[in-house]
Amino acid sequence: MAQKGEEPTQLRHLNSINDLTNSEIEEVFALADDYLDRFGDPAAAHRIAASHTAGAGHILATLFLEPSTRTRLSFESAMLRLGGQTITSSDPATSSAAKGESLADSVRVVSNYADAIVLRHPRDGAARLAAEFAAVPVINGGDGSHEHPTQTLCDLYTLRRENKQLKGLNVAISGDLRGSRTIHSFVYALARFGANLILMPAKGMGLPAHVDARLREEFRCVAAPKSSYAAEDASIDALYMTPEEPHQLSLIPAPDTEVDIRLADGLRQVDVVYVTRFQKERWAEAKADYPTVNSDFLKADRYKHSSVLHPLPRVGELDVAFDSDRRAVYFRQAAYGVPVRMALIALVLGLEKKKAFKRFAGGFEERPKALYEQPHDSGIACSNPNCVSHDPLERQYTRNKFHVHVGETPRLRCYYCETDIADFVVASRRGKRYKSSGEAGTLNALDLRTTLFFKDAAAAEGAGFSHGAPPRRQAAR
């Protein structure tokens, strides 16, 4: 047990990019710079070419239940370059999951074989679930369409190496914004560092509603009115400005404001174009019209100084003829996976003297959040069908678990996949009454020990609750 004055000993897992503070992200980059300086290839500035010894005696497990080339190999290369060792299970067909083993059992077992686990999984929220059962840090190597935080570290680091300041940067994002987990982590980070987002999704593939809502409600993004850019470029679906200071929010409704000027600048000069492939494994339908980025698209004046990024693999949406263009940085972006992941592993495991992430429970802002937890078959379940909590292998032990956000826009955020539910019903076990989340005062002074949430009124009534406030003496505290 920690003594007074000692740091608490919780493990630091990396499930979402929001599990790192901005200064921790900068720490990763500073250490990655240091590694490139010390172990880089003198002939190729983006490449690690020599090995360190700080990781000697440590083992990294890569547990990949979905295809991967870059993420797994760059993590393994990073661990080997640190002087550590790696073990891997990379073929879902030959892992115990194929025999029906749960993720909880797999990570409990692998925790005994390694000092950290990198997990890739087809289900949203799998990394958070794994972290609940692991005795060592779990790093999310991509979970369904939820997030891919270490890809975002590589993306931001690439921009830094290209001398692009994130604050005020105009970043266009093209492709499958709904299914692409790399984009979800990326937009949160860009907003947190003050970049502006120019969203150019393929038809019907805009950001998931809860990601979009979080950008506006938690990350201070302000959507520009469509009339301000629709005539300029029909492929733009949304434009988000991130005010540099909160007080600038008050300027937004007025015409000819600073934001309008910055908006016009954003359309005049796009600093970054981030391209992604159609995530065919996450869609039931085949893709129809999908945007292609090529020299023709990029010949517009506003792309003259753009850096073009892609997390790769590409499957036709980014023309190979563009590879020799000075604006193409995607292969360097993939190369930075090694120094960035070396730095991340070193900070998670505390391999460098006096450089380790602080061990608080996680979150870039350490706000205490009320947690609602019920057995799987009682009350509300996550609304995302791809959430790990619905996986037939995991259902037997997962619970309905939500962060409860009270305030102007009450919502339940799934503890695992972070999908939000805005409309729900709140029932008190004491008075056997329920109210909808939209009714005034519903979430005031909630006592989670006596509260059940339901999907809707019918579900609450089916469980024996009736509408209305509980009798006063039984009011929830």
Q: Which is nearer to ligand NCD, 181 or 413 (CB)?
A: 181
Q: Whose CA is closest to 419, among 371, 376, 382? A: 382
Q: Which is nearer to ligand NCD, 274 or 402 (CB)?
A: 274
DSSP annotation of 306 = P
Closest CB 177 distance from ligand NCD, rounded Å: 12
Q: Which is nearer to ligand NCD, 72 or 435 (CB)?
A: 72
Q: Are 308 and 162 in contact (CB under 8 A)?
A: no
What amino acid occupies position 330?
Answer: Y
Q: Are 213 and 188 in contact (CB under 8 A)?
A: no
Taking CB under 6 A as the rule, which mask of x and - marks residues 351-390 in contact with ligand NCD?
Answer: ----------------------------------------
Q: Which is nearer to ligand NCD, 149 or 194 (CB)?
A: 149
Number of residues that bind ligand NCD (CB under 6 A): 11
Backbone phi and psi for residue 62, each to the nearest 5 degrees, phi listed first: -105, 115
Closest CB 176 distance from ligand NCD, rounded Å: 8
How far the first Cα of the chain sits from its last, in Å, is 33
Closest CB 219 distance from ligand NCD, rounded Å: 21
Among 12, 52, 181, 184, binds ligand NCD (CB under 6 A): 181
Q: Are 145 and 245 in contact (CB under 8 A)?
A: no
Residues within window 117-156 making contact with ligand NCD, judged by CB under 6 A: 142, 148, 151
Q: Which is nearer to ligand NCD, 190 or 460 (CB)?
A: 190
Q: Are 116 and 150 in contact (CB under 8 A)?
A: no
Query: Omega of the bond prior to 255 within 30 degrees of 0, cis?
Result: no
Closest CB 305 distance from ligand NCD, rounded Å: 25
HEC secondary structure over 307-324: EEECCCCCCCCECHHHCC
Q: Which is nearer to ligand NCD, 155 or 237 (CB)?
A: 155
Q: Which is nearer to ligand NCD, 280 or 358 (CB)?
A: 280
> Which helix (H) or strand (E) segment is 26 a member of?
helix 22-39
312 binds ligand NCD (CB under 6 A): yes
214 binds ligand NCD (CB under 6 A): no
Residue 120 has a CB neighbour count (10 Å cut-off) of 25
Q: Which residues are bridge partners to 370 per DSSP?
A: 404
182 binds ligand NCD (CB under 6 A): yes
Taking CB under 6 A as the rule, which mask of x and - marks residues 248-277 in contact with ligand NCD?
Answer: ----------------------------xx
Q: Whose CA is closest to 218, among 235, 242, 236? A: 242
Alpha-carbon distance values, 282 to 76, 312, 334 (Å): 26, 16, 23
Q: Whose CA is closest to 402, among 446, 365, 337? A: 446
Q: Which is nearer to ligand NCD, 75 or 402 (CB)?
A: 75
Closest CB 311 distance from ligand NCD, rounded Å: 4
Distance, CA of 75 to CA of 337 (rounded, Å): 8
Closest CB 153 distance from ligand NCD, rounded Å: 12
At 94 the three-state DSSP class reads helix
* Catalytic residue list: 70-71, 99, 120, 148
Residues within window 34-73 making contact with ligand NCD, judged by CB under 6 A: 70-71
175 binds ligand NCD (CB under 6 A): no
CA of residue 185 relative to chain centroid, distance: 3
Closest CB 312 distance from ligand NCD, rounded Å: 5
Q: What is the sign, positive or negative, of the torsion defined by CA atoms of 265, 271, 274, 275?
A: positive
311 binds ligand NCD (CB under 6 A): yes
What amino acid occupies position 302?
Answer: R
Residues belonging to the chain: 477
Closest CB 148 distance from ligand NCD, rounded Å: 5
Contacts to ligand NCD by CB under 6 A: 70-71, 142, 148, 151, 181-182, 276-277, 311-312
